[in-house]
Amino acid sequence: MQLNQIKSKKRRVTPSDKHQLSTSQERCQIHKYLTLNNQNINKSQKYQILDQIGEGSYSTIFIVENKLHGGYYAMKKVLQDPKQINRELEIHMNMNHPHIAPLRDYYYSVENKVKYLHLVMDLYQGNLKNAIRVPLKRVAKQLFQALEYLESQHVMHRDLKPANILYQSGNIYLADFGSSKKMDGSKSLSYVCSRAYRAPELLFGQIFYNTKIDIWAAGCILAELELGKQLFFGQNTVDQIVEICKFLGTPNELEKAELGCQFYIPNLQAKKLSMIFINFVLNQKTDPQLIDLLSKIFIYSPSKRINCNEALKHPYFLS
């Protein structure tokens, strides 16, 4: 074909051409945005820190704004100590349950040669530590539903406490998986969970345990929400054991063997759980079914302690 044959006159741009051009430009812009959002942008520049709202031993919590598409979030900045195993990201990113706070984004940063993990989550009104007059039965049911899901994933939370249960509009959301671990049959640290919510097997130093430690912690949380104060509050580990013994009585020999108890405990008589909940705030009467549910949680032997499925079928949730 000759050159003069392929030359043509300049064609007029039709409305159809304009539409195709517009569509092409739009697709280009969308592709450019997604590339910018997901790959090219430095994620530390994506979020603007507005305020600090919490602090722990290895982490700090901030309110941040997403500068790309707006919206306010909570960001947990976690120190990555090379001497410790950090399973938080691996476990949290695989969680999918309506009562577990979803992980929205994450990235790593290095500051002064120190590595940090940044976890971005939804921003909630508060947590059970600062919530006032929560619907206890609703909260209890949602808590056991979330724990049942963790159990199905073979995950132990290992740090259940009111501050780690987010709350908004009558609903709860489990958060903070910094101490969580998959059950794989290996030895585990016994020094986990805040003392007031620590199960007896942990207090006695057991290194093989399961999700029943979270059931115990859940019971402590529900009792605290009902009483307005912590049920067991010792000044140290030994004192905490004594406080539990004052309530449950001294464990028998079989229970001591299962708990791994290897030291002397004075002989103490158990108290009736119903007596603990008499004449508390405003002289309101505690639901007897709640007391019965707690009596099945506060059991020394983990193998005899109620599980999540059994808890959700308890008459307390049917009334």
For 171-188, write each residue's pLDDT tens digit: 999 999 999 999 998 999
Q: What is the predicted pLDDT for the residue at 185?
A: 87
Strand, coil or helix: 114: strand
Name 114's bridge partners. Answer: 111
Indicate the residue type of 140: A
pLDDT at 125 over 50: yes
pLDDT tens-digit series, residues 283-314: 567 899 999 999 999 999 999 999 999 999 99
Take residue 239 and report the two structure tokens written for it: 């004192």
Given 159, 176, 214, 239, the catalytic residue: 159
Q: How confident is the model at residue 276 (pLDDT cuts 50, 70, 90)?
A: confident
| Mean pLDDT (whole number) for 79-95 | 92
- Tell how strand 165-168 and strand 126-127 pair up: antiparallel
At 11 the pLDDT is 41
Res 170 pLDDT > 50 = yes
The whole-number pLDDT of residue 23 equals: 41
What does residue 245 show for φ and ψ, rounded to 5 degrees? -65, -35
> pLDDT for 130-168, tens place per residue?
988 899 999 999 999 999 999 999 999 999 999 999 999
Give the per-residue pLDDT at 27: 39
The tens digit of pLDDT for each residue in 231-250 reads 999 999 999 999 999 999 99
Rounded mean pLDDT of the chain? 86
Of the candidates 295, 300, 134, the residue with the CA atom closest to the CA atom of residue 311: 295
- Rounded to 10 deg, the angle between the 212-227 and 288-297 helix axes is 150
Is residue 295 classed exposed, middle or buried when 0-12, 13-18 and 19+ CB atoms within 10 A define those classes?
middle
Q: What is the DSSP letter of 100?
A: B
pLDDT digits (tens, 9 = 90+) for 59-75: 999 999 999 989 999 99
Residue 237 is classified by DSSP as H
Whether residue 36 is predicted with pLDDT greater than 90 in this model: the reply is: no
Q: How confident is the model at residue 41 (pLDDT cuts 50, 70, 90)?
A: low
Mean predicted confidence (pLDDT) in 191-205: 95
More confident residue, 77 or 27: 77
Q: What's residue 3's pLDDT? A: 34
Average pLDDT over residues 111-140: 94
Identify the pLDDT of residue 212: 98
pLDDT, residue 38, reads 45
**Residue-level pLDDT at 26:** 42
Percent of the chain with pLDDT over 90: 68
Task: Indicate the range of 108-122, 189-203, 204-218, 267-281 predicted with least confidence.
Answer: 267-281
In the chain, the domains with their CATH numbers are: 45-122 (3.30.200.20), 126-317 (1.10.510.10)
Determine if residue 246 is labeled as part of a ligand binding site. Answer: no
Higher-confidence residue of 23 and 257: namely 257
> Phi-psi bin for 283: left (phi > 0), alpha (psi -120 to 50), beta?
left
105 catalytic per annotation? no
Where would I find the H helices in 187-248?
A: 200-203, 212-227, 237-248
